[in-house]
Structure 1
Amino acid sequence: MTGVPASAAGGTGAKRVPAPKGKLGAAAVNQASLWNIANILTMVRLVLVPAFVVLLFQDGGYDPAWRAWAWAAFAVAMITDVFDGHLARTYNLVTDFGKIADPIADKAIMAAGLISLSVLGDLPWWVTSVILVREIGITLMRFWVIRLAVIPASRGGKAKTLAQGVAVGMYVLALTGPLATLRFWVMALAVVLTVLTGLDYVRDAVVIRRRAIVALRVAEAEAGAVEDSGASGDSASDEAGESAAAESTR
């Protein structure tokens, strides 16, 4: 005899718990692991940032072949941005590392592209400044309201990201003729979307913060009223007890 109950030993009286399958099973296995596919893609994107800059500035930064390789690195980085977020949400692979590294990687590859193009003289510095100020400002604003609420990505924000990625990618390539004209208008669209969505995020953040503060104050007031009511009830009970004790001593 082993001394182990049948239920623990998998006897006939025990109910077997089926092993998790499919997406939920993958989530249970990978959720606590740093080395899941979503985080690996984020790490790849971080590594591609310096690789992109090195490729872009080869031979003075104006060699069409090297710029094509730089565009390939930039394109892979932007594609991994789409897939790592999708995988993390679908298979519940969200980790603390991913929450921090993913937005850093997103901003890093875009900032690297904009600043490098401005250094090479292909893109005006004011365009780079407008986009980077907006991105940094919105990131700080998210931290400002993160304790109260999370601002979800809007359709306009996603369209802005797509427009920025396409525009920067077109500027990285050594384009001429109609394509060079087209990239100017794509970048103009990206700048307009950047400004408009930035203002929209600011409005949403202010509204969300005000509502959250009002809700917090209402909850605190209700909690205080409950405590006061409880204290009044205790006082009444004490007074009734004292009166009963006085009557018993007479």
Structure 2
Amino acid sequence: MSTTDMSPTLDIVRSLYTHTQTLEEFANSVVFREGKKAVLIEQSDTNRFKSFVRGVFVCFDKELQQVPSFNQMCTLPELLAFVLNGLKRKRKRNILAHGYNFQGLAQEKRDADPFKFQGDVTQSAAYIHGSDMWKRVTLRLGTDLTRYLLESCSVFVAVPPSCVFQVCGAPIYDRVSMSTVSNRFFLQPGSKKKSGAQSSRSRGAGIYKRRRDVEKPTYRKTRNRKNESVMEGKRKRETDQNEEEETLTR
């Protein structure tokens, strides 16, 4: 996947967030509380993992306020369950929690173990839960930084050749003004060729019409002549009647 293919999509993403970095760039800018810099890619890593890390984009508006620890306090599934339970309990809008709903458990049981899933894991959460790449990312970045990514950042993963899909964060469509989107479509139906039978009928109708146009003036002339003869006969009869009346009067 070339950078050129992704540039139009990334331009749109960058226009919506204050900061947009690859996961590698994001990790390189972090210094842990223990004084150690985050190292996400090692020389022994496969090209597949390197491509994955460079195809993950981290978007955020405010920079990291608290210095994270490098300690690994729980596994990725436990961290994912903790984040999902917290998002649902606080009713925060996050793509990660889409499709995750609490089962019919009492409130006491929900709060008993926040590191266990209390609903079905679907969509983005299921993708992260079953990904070996994300498990390695969690091991390299630690629990604090991975939690920050899932809870407070909008993370997108590249989809070749030129798309991205969002795995966590507030929905990107919340940042897009729908009033500027045009919903007008211009459909131009393609020209349809007439069949041979239709063309023949059309030609026949045209010839018949032309014949009528040619014959019509002749018919009108004949009719006009008949009307003139009738009128002349009528005038002649009226003249004869007038002459007879004059003769009788004399």
TM-score normalised by the chain length of structure 2: 0.23
TM-score normalised by the chain length of structure 1: 0.23
Which of the pair is proportionally richer in helix? 1
